[in-house]
């Protein structure tokens, strides 16, 4: 295929698609943000492939010419891959019979196609020396410190030659849901595990990566000299597993058993905890696969199979704009009802204006819809593409002016009115929710009525609803009994605990788990929490610079402080008896660096320290009690800093002796 340079003067659908897909790839590979769903991207890419085949040329920015997207400068060092990390050619569900044809008379290995971020690991002399993201296939970002925090990567292995392997960094659905449950702000929740994983792996602060339970699933051995694998990919998988690596689940197949094996994986996908968007089939015969060579973009020894979602065609009735408590106004597609995966659906979030523009979405368009992972309704494609129009210039709730903001290549609509009623309604909805004050009878609809009637202006007002008895009793849906039940629920909620209050305030990013950690760290002293500095807050497990800054900004506002004081005056906070047990490290601050030998990883060592009352932080400061580094004589920056400040440097053996000594001292 000839490559023709793209210029702004070029016109036509092929140039338009090349540019659009290049922008989508840039967002996906460099920021972890999926501006459109996979089904939409694949549809556009297939259209571009057909146009390129007809025209006989491709623009240099076409994703069919380039692999992935060029790594951007974000503070991570970039490096060229010794062996290019190519993507895979794919077969769609409707073309699944092609898998049998592709395999032919060869034996194959069928495995999950994991949905995360591809990472290449290099081991030298049995030690992890380098970890690099796939990037554009030729150049990736160095994430070695972050990879060492993955929960299942061996930091040392018995094989002493150079080992290079590829795998997928992934976050399980269960861990993803736990993290999202801890985020109070609906708009701050992560869209899917893949986006969360991409952002977690590419952090500048490896402590954040360590807190996300990232796993590494090996799927390809690139180099291991001197090992006899009996010319078998299966033997490579077994060898890697024997070294301590978690490999993707796989089965051996032939043309006769392949269809049954695909069905077996399909039966597992609904309950499989690791995100997967398909399967990978590769020839077991290593020499045969290598003899086939590669195209400019794909290796010929393996092929991907993508799961299909049930897709239905319908008509888009209109776009509904839904305001949130952060000011973000989300577009929601409302369409003629269709049956999907056994249920009737008529609405799907479009997430932001960038996705709307990618779909060229307008009222009256013929669209196809599906359920992502058989759960969440999504738009797959827009068949008529009438174009985005009628983006509201005023907030649908308060009538205040709106503005379009672009953050990390994503455009979204915001209400600029700080007193927007929607912000109040969503904030109060969180405040009365089960994990916060837990007030039965105050649904979002009821809160909307009370706020609209002027009964509630701030949290404390909820505890004085009895002042409006006559008006409430006369409201539609209310009566004497409903009113009395509500007042009793409010009275019960007035006796609560500090964790519920902190969570209920709705400070950006401070979820229930964060609230618990803050309360424990500050020994349930709210005044100390309120006046804590960013530096103090970041010593709390799970609180990074972003959350600490959000906390400090919240209490830098006198209006928020006054509102909080008014609330606390209405509450009776139960005394919390702090957990008893071994607190031998109480008051001590540790920094852990380098590889560990007596623990599975640094996270396990950190958990032990915290369980005994100590703190584990990421930076050596004057408040650090000990630096733990098995290489005590290292000239690393942390060791130098510790020496400058006169802070003792302990090996793991020293730490365990310290721990044993503290126990004996008791």
Catalytic residues: 113
Residues in the chain: 666
Between the alpha carbon of residue 157 and those of residues 161, 405, 551, the distances in Å are: 10, 48, 43
Per DSSP bridges, beta strands 343-349 and 366-372 are: unpaired
**SS3 for 360?**
coil
Identify whether the C-beta of residue 515 lies closer than 8 Å to the C-beta of residue 502: yes
Query: HSE-up of 99 (CA within 13 Å, CB side)?
Result: 31
Beta bridge partners of residue 630, listed in sequence order? none
How far out from the chain centre does Cα 429 lie? 25
Closest CA to 106 of 253, 219, 294: 253
Half-sphere exposure of 573 (CA within 13 A, CB side): 16
Residues in CB range of 246: below 8 A, 6 or more apart: 152, 215, 216, 217, 218
Handedness of CA 26, 29, 30, 33 (dihedral sign): positive
Strand partners, 252: 109
Q: Which residues pair with 216 in a beta bridge?
A: 169
CA atoms within 13 A on the CB side of 24: 25
Rounded to whole angstroms, the Cα distance separating 448 from 421 reads 8
Q: How many angstroms separate the CA atoms of 625 and 609, rounded?
A: 12
Token pair of 419 as six digits: 């007193």
**Of the candidates 512, 510, 501, which has an alpha carbon nearest to the alpha carbon of residue 546?**
510
Q: Residue 382: how many CB atoms within 10 A of its CB?
A: 22
- In the numeric block, the tokens 């610079």 are attached to 545
DSSP 502: H
């Amino acid at each position: 295929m000839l490559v023709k340079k793209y210029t702004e003067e070029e016109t036509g659908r092929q140039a338009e698609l090349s540019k659009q897909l290049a922008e989508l790839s840039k967002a996906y590979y460099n920021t972890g943000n999926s501006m459109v769903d996979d089904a939409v991207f694949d549809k556009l890419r297939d259209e571009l492939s057909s146009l390129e085949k007809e025209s006989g040329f491709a623009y240099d920015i076409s994703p069919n010419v380039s692999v992935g997207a060029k790594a951007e400068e974000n503070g991570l060092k970039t490096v060229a891959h010794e062996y290019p990390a190519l993507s895979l050619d794919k077969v769609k569900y409707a073309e699944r019979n092609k898998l049998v044809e592709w395999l032919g008379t060869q034996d194959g290995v069928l495995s999950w196609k994991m949905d995360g971020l591809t990472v290449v690991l290099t081991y030298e002399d049995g030690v992890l020396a380098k970890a690099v993201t796939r990037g554009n296939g030729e150049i990736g970002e160095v994430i070695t410190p972050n990879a060492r925090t993955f929960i299942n990567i061996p930091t040392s292995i018995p094989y002493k030659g150079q080992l290079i392997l590829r795998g997928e960094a992934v976050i399980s659905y269960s861990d993803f849901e736990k993290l999202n449950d801890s985020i109070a702000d609906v708009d701050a929740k992560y869209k899917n595990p893949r986006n969360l994983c991409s952002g977690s792996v590419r952090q500048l602060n490896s402590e954040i990566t360590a807190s996300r339970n990232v796993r590494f699933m090996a799927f390809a051995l690139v180099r291991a000299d001197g090992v006899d694998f009996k010319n078998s990919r299966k033997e490579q998988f077994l060898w890697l597993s024997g070294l301590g690596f978690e490999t993707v689940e796989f089965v051996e197949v032939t043309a006769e058993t392949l269809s049954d094996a695909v069905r077996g994986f399909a039966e597992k996908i609904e309950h499989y905890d690791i995100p997967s968007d398909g399967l990978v089939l590769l020839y077991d015969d290593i020499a045969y696969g290598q003899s086939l060579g590669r195209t400019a973009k794909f290796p010929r020894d393996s092929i991907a199979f993508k799961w299909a979602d049930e897709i239905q065609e319908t008509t888009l009735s209109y776009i509904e704009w839904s305001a949130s408590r952060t000011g973000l106004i989300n577009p929601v597609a409302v369409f003629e009802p269709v049956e999907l995966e056994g249920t009737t659906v008529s609405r799907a979030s479009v997430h932001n204006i960038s996705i709307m523009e990618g779909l060229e979405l307008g009222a009256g368009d013929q669209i196809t819809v599906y359920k992502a992972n058989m759960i969440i309704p999504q738009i797959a494609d827009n068949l008529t593409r009438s174009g985005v129009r009628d983006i509201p210039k005023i907030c649908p709730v308060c009538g205040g002016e709106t503005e379009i903001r672009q953050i990390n290549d994503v455009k979204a609509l915001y209400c600029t009115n700080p007193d927007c009623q929607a912000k109040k309604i969503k904030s109060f909805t969180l405040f009365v929710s089960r994990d916060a004050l837990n007030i039965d009878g105050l649904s979002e609809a009821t809160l909307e009525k009370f706020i609209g009637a002027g009964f509630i202006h701030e949290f404390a007002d909820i505890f004085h609803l009895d002042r409006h008895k006559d008006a409430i009793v006369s409201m539609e849906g209310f009566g004497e009994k409903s009113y009395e039940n509500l007042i009793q629920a409010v009275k019960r909620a007035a006796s609560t605990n500090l964790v519920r209050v902190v969570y209920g305030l709705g400070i950006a990013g401070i979820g229930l788990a964060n609230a618990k950690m803050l309360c424990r760290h500050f020994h349930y002293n709210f005044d100390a929490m309120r006046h804590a500095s960013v530096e103090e807050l970041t010593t709390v497990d799970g609180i990074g610079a972003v959350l600490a800054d959000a906390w400090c900004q919240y209490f830098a506002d006198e209006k928020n402080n006054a509102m909080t004081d008014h609330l606390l005056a209405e509450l009776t906070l139960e005394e919390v008896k702090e957990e008893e047990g071994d607190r031998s490290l109480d008051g001590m601050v540790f920094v852990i660096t380098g590889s560990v030998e007596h623990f599975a990883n640094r996270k396990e060592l950190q958990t032990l320290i915290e369980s005994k009352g100590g703190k584990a932080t990421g930076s050596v400061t004057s408040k650090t009690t000990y630096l733990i580094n098995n290489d005590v004589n290292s000239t690393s920056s942390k060791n130098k800093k510790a020496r400058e400040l006169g802070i003792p440097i302990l090996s793991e053996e020293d730490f365990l002796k310290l721990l044993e000594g503290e126990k004996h001292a008791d």
